[in-house]
Amino acid sequence: MRRLRRSESMRALVRETTLEPGDLIYPLFLCPGEGVRREVGSMPGVFQLSIDEAVREAEGAAALGIGGLLFFGLPESKDEEGTGAWDQNGIVQQGLRAIKNSTAAKKLVLIADVCLCEYTSHGHCGIIAETAEGWTVKNDPTLDLLAKTGASLALAGADVIAPSDMMDGRVGAIRTALDIAGCEDTPILSYASKFASAFYGPFREAADSAPQFGDRKSYQMDGANIREAMREIDLDLGEGTDMILMKPAMPYLDVIRAARERVDVPIGAYQVSGEYSMLQAAFAKGWLDRDRAILESLLGIRRAGADFAVTYFAKDAAKLLA
C-alpha cells in the first residue's frame, strides 16, 4: 500500500475525496445598527454583523470562492409569534436586499434559514400553548407563519429557502407559499434530519435564540434514531424539498452516509456551532494543529457523503485550500 503514498503528487493522484471552497457555505448573523461587529463569546472569530459589515463579509467570501452564505437574524424586538421573521423590513430581508445588490451576490448562493426561534420572545421554533401537561409547540398553526416567512425571504432575494424548525409538513407549506408568491423557481433546502443536540449551544448565544423554558426535544429528533432520520428525509422529499441538510455533522456522520446511499438529491451537512467551538478551544490551548484539524473535519463530512458543508470555518478553510 505504501507505494502509492510515497509523494504528495502520488497521494494527490489517488485521492478519493475532494474539498473545495465552492463546497463551503458560510453562516452570517445579521443585527441592527451600523458598523457593528460584535464577537460571539463562545465562538471566537464569529461576529454579529450589521448589514454594512455583512456586505463587506459577503465580498470577502466571494473573493475566496466560497459557495454561499446562510443568513440568520437578530431582530430589533421579539414577540410571542415571531412577527420579525416575515416582516418585509425584517433584519434578514433588509440584509438580503443589500447583499443582492452587491457584486458578491453574483458569485454566491444566498440561503435564508427559516425558523421562528430567533424572533419569538420564548425562543421556541413555533407557536406555544399551555395544555394540562404544560406547554406545547403547536404544529399546524406554526406552518402558516413559516410559509409566510419563506415567501417573504424569497421575495427579498434569497436564492434558497432553508427551513430548520422541524415542524411536520413545513416543506409542503413553504413550497405552496413560494409558488403563490411567484417564487416557483426558488428551491428549498430542508434541514431534513436535525437532531436535538447539545452542540447548538454556542449558536443560541450567537443568534440569541435559547428557549426560555423547556427544550426542543418535542420537535427536533432523538439522537439515537437513524431509521427515523430516513423517514424525515423521505417525507421532506415527498413534500418537494430540492436538497436536504443534515445536522449536526461530526456526531452523525453515519446518518449522512445512510442518507447518501438512500437518496440522489444534493446533500449538505452542517458543522454546527459546538463542533466549531470545541475545535477553537483546543486550538487556543495549543492541543490541536489548527490548519490540519479544520481541513480534516471538513473532509470527513465530504467523505461521509455530503456534497457541501455549512461551516463557521468557511473562510479559514477556503484560505487554506487556495
SS3 track for 73-96:
ECCCCCECCCHHHCCCCCHHHHHH
Give the whole-angstrom CA distance, residue 128 versus residue 113. Answer: 20
From 317, 314, 296, 284, select the one nearest 41 (Cα to Cα).
284
Give yes or no: 315 in active site: no
Output the smallest distance, CB 194 to ligand PBG, in A. 7
Output the smallest distance, CB 74 to ligand PBG, in A. 12
Residue 135 and residue 123 in contact, taking contact as beta carbons nearer than 8 Å: no
Nearer to ligand PBG, 38 or 262 (CB): 38
Give the whole-angstrom CA distance, residue 142 versus residue 157. Answer: 23
Nearer to ligand PBG, 166 or 318 (CB): 166
Return the amino acid letter for 248. P
Residue least distant from ligand PBG (Cβ): 203
Residue 139 and residue 169 in contact, taking contact as beta carbons nearer than 8 Å: yes
Interface contacts to ligand PBG, rule CB under 6 A: 113, 115, 117, 125, 164, 200, 203-204, 216, 272-273
Output the smallest distance, CB 185 to ligand PBG, in A. 24
Tell me which residue has cell 448562493. Answer: 109
Task: Report in angstroms the alpha-carbon separations of 92 from 99, 114, 307.
Answer: 10, 10, 26
Nearer to ligand PBG, 204 or 303 (CB): 204
The residue annotated as part of the active site, out of 138, 194, 217, 319, is 194
SS3 track for 112-153:
EEECCCCCECCCCCCEEEEECCEEEEEHHHHHHHHHHHHHHH
Give the whole-angstrom CA distance, residue 281 versus residue 42. Answer: 9
Give yes or no: 217 in active site: no
Nearer to ligand PBG, 102 or 218 (CB): 218
Output the smallest distance, CB 315 to ligand PBG, in A. 16
Output the smallest distance, CB 261 to ligand PBG, in A. 25
Nearer to ligand PBG, 43 or 156 (CB): 43
The residue annotated as part of the active site, out of 78, 148, 247, 315, is 247
Residues with catalytic function: 194, 247
